[in-house]
Structure 1
Amino acid sequence: MEPKKLYRSRTDRMICGVCGGIAEYFNIDATIVRLLFVLLGLTGGSGILAYFIAAIIIPDDK
């Protein structure tokens, strides 16, 4: 069995597909992940920074 890998989603994306990719990896709804990033963004801006760092680091889905 091949190990699970984290990719940015091509099908479930709003900006870069980071939240959709994280949701697919953990097998949860992408809306929950998006809400978590928004909450992090509202509490000091760390969610916005984390999102764009993840968009750079996480590779695009094949």
Structure 2
Amino acid sequence: MTSLSRPRDGRWIAGVCAGIARRLDLDPKAVRIAFVLSCLLPGPQFLAYLILWVLMPSED
């Protein structure tokens, strides 16, 4: 497994979903769809995304 970081290529907004997909060896589209669908449920999903955006290092 690779380290958890936001990739420079394949980003849409901040690269959080792409980084999670790369870390878990999943398709980035599936992770993005799962995130968007989870936003329809009550909870702090968007806040978690913002926190990950700040905390996840960007690839060099």
Same topology, TM > 0.5: yes
Unmatched 5+ residue regions in structure 2? none
Matched residues in 1 for 2:47 and 2:37: separation? 13
Q: In the TM superposition, what is the alpha-carbon distance from 1:46 to its structure 2 partner?
A: 2.2
Q: Percent identity?
A: 40
Q: Tell me, yes or no, if structure 1 residue 52 matches structure 2 residue 58.
A: no
Structure 1 length-normalised TM: 0.83
Q: Deviations over 1:1-58 (max 9, x none)?
A: xx73110111011100000111111111001111111122111252211111110110
Q: How many residues align?
A: 60
Matched residues in 2 for 1:56 and 1:31: separation? 21
Aligned to 1:8: 6
Runs of 4+ in 1 over 6 A off after TM superposition: none
Structure 2 length-normalised TM: 0.86
Aligned to 2:27: 29
Relative CO higher for 1 or 2, CA cutoff 8 Å, sep ≥ 6? 2
Matched residues in 1 for 2:42 and 2:6: separation? 25
Unmatched 5+ residue regions in structure 1? none
